[in-house]
Structure 1
Amino acid sequence: MTQLQTVHTKDAPKAVGAYSQAVKHQGMLYTSGQIGLDPTSGHMVADDVVNQTKQVVANLTAVIEAAGGQLNQIVKVTIFLENMDDFPKVNQIYADWLGEHRPARSTVAVAALPLAAKVEMDCVVAIG
């Protein structure tokens, strides 16, 4: 059986439950969902979706890089939004984050997110 490798970086919020920031398995990285928590303070960066989204992508970038990956290796992203009216703002930050890279993506409206977050994202990255 192939061993799973957990990923941890101090540059992203530490796991607040029974999970890892990410897991590597057979050349693939699976990140846990990231919300707009500041990795130093452990608190939400702001109440607005724009600043939360900027922190989310910073957190995901830190986890991906800690695992030895790069943004252009992202295969799939899932975005969870508390309010679909925020989609245009989140989509613009997302597009700026990834530049010309266009992985597969799903966006899902949810009733609520942890710590009253307005946005959460996770991704799958081919790093092998």
Structure 2
Amino acid sequence: MQIVNHPNIPASNGHYSQCVEHNGILYLSGQLPINPLTRDIPETIEEQTDVALKNVETILIEAGSSRKMVLQARIYISSIKLWAKVNDIYSIFFEHHKPARTIIPTHELHFGCLIEIEVTAIKY
């Protein structure tokens, strides 16, 4: 098992790793829609979904993978009413690639975010 570290991967704020690799499989911690440079959180679910997915992609690239290598995604949303809008942005991001996916409605997420995305992927 190896912890994946890279200057382009923001340091975690708690007792966890952003990405762990084991036997060529990458396990990414949940990514919130926080801009890693400005720490801003967009307002709309569409913008938040886009930022969270870009954060996932940054970690995947730095770990030697890509969005096309994602096996499974777990998406936590603050309301089931957000599902359709999240699905629209998600489908644009992944294009023809369709990882296994679970969407879990929750009551609330950290920092008042509307979404958190966690993935498992294969390393090239």
TM-score tier (shorter): over 0.9
CA contact (8 A) 1:54 1:93 kept: yes
CA distance in 2, matches of 1:24, 1:40: 25
Partner of 1:18: 15
Match of 1:57 in 2: 53
Q: Residues 9 and 62 of structure 2 are in contact (CA less than 8 Å); yes or no, is this contact kept in structure 1? A: no
Q: What is the aligned counterpart of 1:121 among 103, 117, 123?
A: 117
Unaligned runs of 5+ in 1: none
What TM-score, normalized to structure 2?
0.93
Deviation at 1:26, TM superposition (A): 0.6
Q: CA RMSD in A?
A: 1.3
Conserved? CA contact 2:26–2:123, under 8 Å: yes
Contact 1:11–1:59 at 8 Å: present in 2 too? Answer: no
How many residue pairs were aligned? 124
| C-alpha distance in structure 1 between counterparts of 2:120 and 2:38, whole Å | 26
Identical counterparts, % of pairs: 27
1:37 equivalent in alignment to 2:11:
no
Q: Distance in 2 between matches of 1:20 and 1:65?
A: 16
The equivalent of 1:81 in structure 2 is 77
Alignment match, 2:2 = 5
TM-score, L = length of structure 1: 0.91
What per-residue deviation string (whole Å, max 9, x for no partner) do you get for residues 10-69 of structure 1?
44543111111110011100000001101112232x122111111000000000001000
**Structure 2 stretches lacking a partner, 5+ long:** none
Give the 5 Å matches for 1:91-110. 91-110=87-106
State the AA in 1 paired with 2:74.
Answer: T
Q: Distance in 2 between matches of 1:79 and 1:96?
A: 16
